[in-house]
Amino acid sequence: MTLITRAAATALVCLLAAGCGNGGKIEISAPGDYQTESPVSDSPVSPPQPATAGTLVVLDYEYSYTPIGATPVPFQDYSSGQVVHIAVGTSILVELGEFRDPRSSDPTVILPVAPPQDAAGYRVTVFRAARAGTASVTADPASSCTRLVACYGPVDIAFAIP
């Protein structure tokens, strides 16, 4: 076997090996064309699970509320001025990213029941809809706006409890 034949055979084996590890596709990049991002995996990031029955879960600007006896409702965006109608006794779990600890506008209606940390160390504040009325849960941004830190408006979720 000549040197040229050996080089060609080696190149063919390398191309076939590369193709087999890439779903059978052989991709050749132009010189100077480099990969700058990791490839996308086949399994997407799982969305948060809907709230369990009798619970409302707030994650930054979205929420999920599932009344007792109802089918779980996926998370949906919360828009300013929207009123979420819940039942007396509903547990409200608030987990916020870049915000100060949430507080209730009327603790006799939306009662704080647990400090802002759960057993796993996540900052989750638990409230309970204690009686009929209207109240909101609010939280201010944790940091001020700068050119390096994104600006977030306060979280303000209004509740009506019949």
Pairing mode of beta strands 62-66, 76-77: antiparallel
Kindly report the CA angle at 71 between 139 and 112, in degrees rounded to 5? 30
62 or 42: which leads in pLDDT: 62
Instruction: List, in order of start, the domains of the chain with CATH numbers.
Output: 55-161 (2.60.40)
Q: Is the pLDDT of residue 39 over 60?
A: no
Amino acid, res. 64: S
Cα 59 to Cα 49: distance, rounded to the nearest angstrom:
11
Please state, in angstroms and rounded to a whole number, the distance separating the CA atoms of residues 162 and 146. Answer: 42
Question: Alpha-carbon distance 21 to 119, whole Å?
Answer: 43
Task: With H, G, I as helix, E, B as strand and everything else as coil, classify residue 129.
Answer: strand
Q: For 61-65, 118-122, 132-136, 140-144, which range has the lowest pLDDT when averaged over its residues?
A: 118-122
Percent residues over pLDDT 70 in the chain? 63
Query: How confident is residue 119, by pLDDT bands cut at 50, 70 and 90?
Result: low
